[in-house]
Structure 1
Amino acid sequence: MKEIIKKYLYNYYFLCIASAFVINFLIEIFSRHSIVAAFNYLIHSPVVFTYNVLLILLTFSLILLVRRKFFVFTTISLIWLAGGITNGIVLNNRVTPFTANELKLISSTFDILEKYFSKFQIGLIGVGIALAIIGVIIAFFKAPRSKNKVNYKKNIPLFAAGIISFVLLTQGALKANIISDYFGNIAFAYLDYGFPYCFTNTLLNTGIKRPVNYTQATIEKLAETLMNSEDSSKLDNSNLVASNDNSMVPQKQAPNIIMLQLESFFDPTHMIDLEFSEDPVPNFRKLKEQFSSGYLKVPSVGAGTANTEFEVISGMNLEFFGAGEYPYKTILRKTTAESINYDLKDLGYSTHAIHNNKGTFYTRQKVFKMLGFDTFTSIEYMNIEETTPLGWAKDKYLTKSIVDALKSTEGQDYIYTISVQGHGDYPTTPVENHSKITVSGLDDTERLTSFEYFTNEMYEMDQFIAELIQALSLINEDIVLVMYGDHLPTLGIEDAELSNGDIFETEYVIWNNFGLEKQDTDIEAYQLGAHVLNQLGIHHGTLINYHQQYKDTPDYLDNLKLLQYDMLYGERYIYGGVNPYEPTKMQMGVNEVLISEVYNDEDGNFIVKGQNFTEYSRVKINDTAHETTYIDPNTLMVSDYTLNEDDRFAIQQVTVTNHVLSTSAKYKVGQEEENNQFYDQGFEEGYMAGYQAALEALGQPVQEVE
């Protein structure tokens, strides 16, 4: 026995091979939260499992280059196990798995921890990390070194051969479709292809690879072709004319444009086997019959809201980026990108983003500046009184924010709205007093329960659509409202279960109040903006024009990749070598948060009066933020504080994780004329009068769209 132990356990090569297998199996247990599921994966996907074992083994090959072999072996083992454990914890609390990009967003990671775990659990995680670090340090100083010097002449070629062999193996596996370099649903990809491969992919495979034909001459020729194409004659029919300062402005009153991206929204009746006690989406169905509509091909399934969002706003195809990549977490943290916002701002539009979720999710509070938004109204600037059983804000509260954005400017507005009500994960046990519509047709009781929950959320979102159109119909301005689902829900739906046969398809409809011609067509998410603007006679912007002119040409996708690479990663030849887009000075919230009065009441409580307060408002006195009680949109209270006339006061809007999104203008007692100097009472009264008319409609019973 001693000889066996000495022969194998002290043999690093055997130890690495055995450990790679064990570590990969443990990672799969963590990812699937089940030993049985990990065994099933091993049995049914042995080739993929072996590939991941070889990937882990490749990282162990670093011991060929060092004398501290045990230290390197221990460190690499801990890194893989830590990644697997982290992924398991993350998947226990959200749909999308742990990716390498999150290592670059450590501050956001702490926000996520605070949302999903108690302070005690975070403390345990911290202790675990500390113990792992201590273990690595002890291994560094105490672990034995190899007595023999490293034979670099032999080991470096061996190490290089291992890397080359694995690269060739990977290429073969990709061609044989054993693994994939595109993740339509990153959660499914991790389950299909394993954590080691997928995580490594998100680490190494980012951005757009340089096209082989990318040169200045190629881009300039493409730009020349774009401007000289016969189809470019459409530009002559654009409703743009030169103003006195030679800027391009609308010749006639252009419509307001509202994009409404509905979380996980799709027509449940597309499920072939399901039966419903009543139509779950009657309003959306009638809208499809009367207005332009079709299927929308989106880049993800079950998750990936931000990626559908990115495609629609930018007009860029996500397939050209790395597998499972979120540009919001990578390139858009470094540079601006041409978008429909910048294109419409050139034409005098104001641009607004609205989302009934926290403003820091996907770091939108930073990314939206890079995409050209003037304002961003997140949940911290809304008064949400009702949530779903899962805790997501209901979409009906978006109506007020959309109307607020329309009323906030005298000119035309582009409003990009992201809903959240339909968000999963969906309960597998019945929710009491939730189901107005009953669903049948599946033998799997838990899955059927999830579908019934989801269907009833779709019904409420459909009612919200009707309410929103009622409110918009009362506004005396031309409006286009584009509604679509961002992706299918996380309900394990397969192509064969759908009447349309494609899990990457949702639907869109283009409502308007001025008689826009009905044009039904199926399109990609990255074509949607150009498609809508084309119907409106607007042909402005490089990618907008490109989609409008070349969508049906043979080289369409190849040239689109060239343009995207040049705009984001290349030399920007298309713009003459200079990025023309500056980050916007984005305002958080459309309505300014203001203080009008401060005083101590009879009970000694400090009262702050003002406007546009929410449950996320916090009183800041001088340089200190105080615990604040929300009373109503015009009143906040701070206990146990006595007014000092020398103090200055402000209101901070903060996330649930105490991230400060904005701070109001300062207020000081006795200087009312100087306080809130940007507040225009006349404008506010006019705005409120117009808004009140829309609100009155929302008090009426919801009616189906005629």
Structure 2
Amino acid sequence: MISSGYGGGTANMEYMTLTGYSVSNFSPTLPVPYTQLVGKLKVNPSIVDSFNHAVAIHPYIGTFYNRTSVYPKFGFDKFLYLGSKDKIRHQHRIDRSPYLSDQTSYQNVIDQLRSYPHGQFINLVTMQNHFPYSDHRYNHLKRYNAISVSKGTKIDEVNEFSTEIHYTNNAVKRFIKQIDGINRPITIVFYGDHLPGIYQNDMAKDGVKLHETEYFIYSNKYARAHGAKNFKQGTAVVSPNDFIAMVAKQTNSKVTWYQALLTDVFEKLPAMAKNVKADDDGNTGGTVAHTDFINSQGKLVKESSLTKQQKQLLQDYRLVQYDVTAGKKYTLKYLK
């Protein structure tokens, strides 16, 4: 997955995943839609609208990125966070980490699945692998040593992050085994929001690599037995705004006209992000809106190189996003 952040920006990838809009289409003066945009709109269409019940889970403080206000705006029925009325349970930590583990996060999801037997959407934001990475929190840190790192990168920080990824792998493996044992169709979208800002590589040279994270979409055994099918075409390089379309395709779900548009964007356009590559002066920002396009080989391509049909599709996509977030809201009555 191509992230529009490096070392930070979690809520932007979350926004793209929930809405299907790309933050690269916004002006640079609107860097965080969660804090600058969502609260100002009366209606915020999202994937939540496709479900009768929706729950957000974040095993940390709920006010970061304005989530306690944003989630109700998106139509979530409950938000579980530290201090919320609906409690974060299990609360397991690894060694000396101050953050609740991925094991805790996934177990709270399992609890929610068991407590509500009908169709629902669950949005989970984990905390286990959050910075800082220099505290030597883990008893088995020496088991996960990097062989070498780029110049200026601190090897201890890479080792700490690698240790956390080890624990994530184990928790994900257990989580998948658990949902495979549930006799209801369940599909997971797992993605890294961004890489930690510990790598001192040259952004002009390695910008794309520094904005790549791993992702997968998994349908449990029951879902696969009832029509869900894994697919590989066009999945090598994607962006968070593609996930709605990808899940609909994998689960063979009926789509709205907007989700059909997102399917065209996923299938016919390169992945898109903002600030992926620094310019010759090392700058990744700017005052002009700019979208970086990354093809299926992980290479940057210019918007000018898109075909006439691709440019028209991109314009349609941008017009819908503009209308809903800044325009006259002509399309809102068709989005429900």
Scaled by the length of structure 1, the TM-score of the pair is 0.37
1:449 aligns with 2:161: no
Higher helix share: 1
- The residue that corresponds to 1:461 in the other structure is 168
Partner SS, residue 209 of structure 2? coil
Task: Please point out which of 102, 106, 131 is paired with 1:424.
Answer: 131
Letter in 2 for 1:461: T
Same amino acid, percent of matched pairs = 24
Partner of 2:67: 364
Q: Relative contact order (C-alpha < 8 Å, sep 6+): which is higher?
A: 2
Query: In 1, Cα distance between the equivalents of 2:206 and 2:33?
Result: 32
Q: Structure 1 residues 302 and 550, CA, compared in 2 at 3 Å: closer, same or farther?
A: closer
Question: Partner letter of residue 569 of structure 1?
Answer: A
TM-score, structure 2 normalization: 0.75
2:97 touches 2:137 (CA, 8 Å); kept in 1?
no
Q: Aligned pairs, how many?
A: 279
- Shift in CA distance, 452/476, structure 1 to aligned 2, threshold 3 Å: same
1:567 aligned partner, one-letter code: V
Q: State the match for 1:70 in structure 2.
A: none
The 5 A counterparts of 1:100-499 are 296-323=1-28, 325-335=31-41, 336-342=43-49, 344-345=50-51, 349-380=52-83, 381-383=87-89, 384-386=91-93, 389-427=96-134, 430-431=136-137, 433-435=139-141, 436-442=143-149, 447-494=154-201
User: For residues 239 and 78 of structure 2, what CA distance do their matches in structure 1 show?
Assistant: 27
SS at match of 1:506: coil
Which runs of 5 or more structure 1 residues have no equivalent in the other structure?
A: 1-295, 582-706
Partner of 1:558 in structure 2? 315
Kindly name which structure, 1 or 2, has the bigger radius of gyration based on alpha carbons. 1
Task: Give distance in 2, aligned partners of 1:377 and 1:543.
Answer: 29
Rounded to whole Å, the distance in 2 between the matches of 1:367 and 1:333 is 7
Q: CA deviation at 1:446?
A: 6.8
Q: Which has the higher strand share?
A: 1
Give the 3 Å change call, closer, same or farther, for CA 443–367 of structure 1 in structure 2.
closer
Once the two structures are TM-superposed, the CA of residue 364 in structure 1 deviates from its matched residue by 0.8
Match of 2:230 among 518, 538, 558: 518
Contact 1:434 1:453 in 2 (8 A): no
SS at structure 2 position matched to 1:476: coil
Residues 643-662 of structure 1 aligned to structure 2 (within 5 Å): none
1:566 Cα deviation (Å)? 0.7
Describe how 1:554-593 pairs up with structure 2 within 5 A: 554-576=311-333
Which residue identity does 1:340 align to in structure 2? I
For residues 217 and 92 of structure 2, the distance between their equivalents in structure 1, rounded to whole angstroms, comes to 29
Counterpart in 2 of 1:534? 249
Task: Tell me the CA shift for residue 501 of structure 1.
Answer: 5.2
Q: CA RMSD in A?
A: 2.6
CA contact (8 A) 1:351 1:414 kept: yes
Letter in 2 for 1:364: R
CA shift in 2, pair 1:388/1:484, >3 Å: farther
Offset at residue 424 of structure 1 (A)? 0.8
**SS state at 1:492 partner:** coil
Structure 1: how far apart are the matches of 2:137 and 2:264? 50
298 and 354 in structure 1: CA distance in 2 versus 1, 3 angstrom threshold: same
Gaps of 5+ in 2: 269-309
